[in-house]
Amino acid sequence: MNVTIIGEIGINHNGDLEIAKKLIDAAVSAGCDAVKFQKRTVDKVYTQEMLDSPRESPWGHTQRAQKEGLEFGRAEYDAIDAYCREKGIAWSASAWDVDSQRFLQKYNLTFNKVASAMLTRDDLLEIIAAEGRLTYISTGMSTMEEIDHAVDIFRGHSCPFALMHCNSTYPMAAEDANLRMITTLKERYRCGVGYSGHETGLLVSLLAVAVGATSLERHITLDRTMYGSDQKASIEPDELRELVAKVRLTEKILGTGVKTLSDAELVVRKKLRG
């Protein structure tokens, strides 16, 4: 089975629909299976005190201005939905609150996503699991007991899911990847386990595939120097194309695990063994 590759656009569109479309184009061109966004109800996710605090951004001088500047609404998501259907690529978004998940239910999404930050939000997990839709659950900054609890919720609803091993640092140092956790999670939960990466470069992601990741998610950007907290932990379009090509090659290199003699090897066998 091929690794599912998800281009995480997140909020790297900077509130600009045209940038979002260019990122979708980059994912399609690279051969990704899906793209993913993030959806928040600003007043539900953040406190009034936090929203009123200062922050300089292209949209103003407060945290509220910055957070609202990065949010897409119904018109933008309608356009994204239509554009992805036109381009033949799946899309979804990780909701950061119950209202945002209800918003996403308006669309015929092929999968849901639980962000690492939301893994302990039972109200959100319950509404997502109740949909019965394949859900990718990121496990960054979580204890095994917290993962146990989230898995119990999804199994309680008979909702299909895959876990995503993740280290929630931006960007992540390669030596912090701990990719053997992919095997640990597979053995503990008997489910598909992918990798959601925030590192620079491609090596860690390719090694994740080599140790058995069933899905791969990387943040993507048009340019890492653009405004935004996620940009530096993202890969640009040329890197994305290289990543997808190398993942597909890695799958072929790994093979089937079944001992066979290739036609080329049979020629050598005949020559050397007679």
Do 227 and 19 form a contact (C-beta atoms < 8 A)?
no
- Strand pairing of 54-57 and 60-62? antiparallel
DSSP 235: B
pLDDT the model gives residue 274: 76
Phi-psi region at 28: left, alpha or beta (left = phi > 0; alpha = psi -120 to 50): alpha
Q: CA torsion angle for 254, 257, 263, 266 (degrees, to 10)? A: 120
pLDDT (average), residues 214-236: 96
- The rounded mean pLDDT for the chain is 97
pLDDT the model gives residue 116: 98
> Per-residue pLDDT for 243 more than 90?
yes
pLDDT for 95-104, tens place per residue?
999 999 999 9
Domain carrying residue 144? 4-273
Give, for 129, the enclosing helix (H) or strand (E): helix 122-131
Tokens of 13: 């569109």
pLDDT (average), residues 121-139: 98
| Percent of the chain predicted with pLDDT > 70 | 100
Give, for 39, the enclosing helix (H) or strand (E): strand 34-39
Residue 188 pLDDT level (bands cut at 50, 70, 90)? very high
> What is the CB-side half-sphere exposure of residue 256 using CA atoms within 13 A?
5
Tokens of 18: 């045209």
Nearest alpha carbon to residue 40 among 10, 84, 1, 3: 10
The tally of domains found in the chain comes to 1
CATH label of the domain that carries residue 62: 3.20.20.70
pLDDT (average), residues 113-117: 98
pLDDT (average), residues 181-190: 98
pLDDT the model gives residue 1: 72
pLDDT the model gives residue 128: 98
pLDDT (average), residues 131-154: 98
pLDDT for 19-75, tens place per residue?
999 999 999 999 999 999 999 999 999 999 999 999 999 999 999 999 999 999 999
pLDDT the model gives residue 12: 97
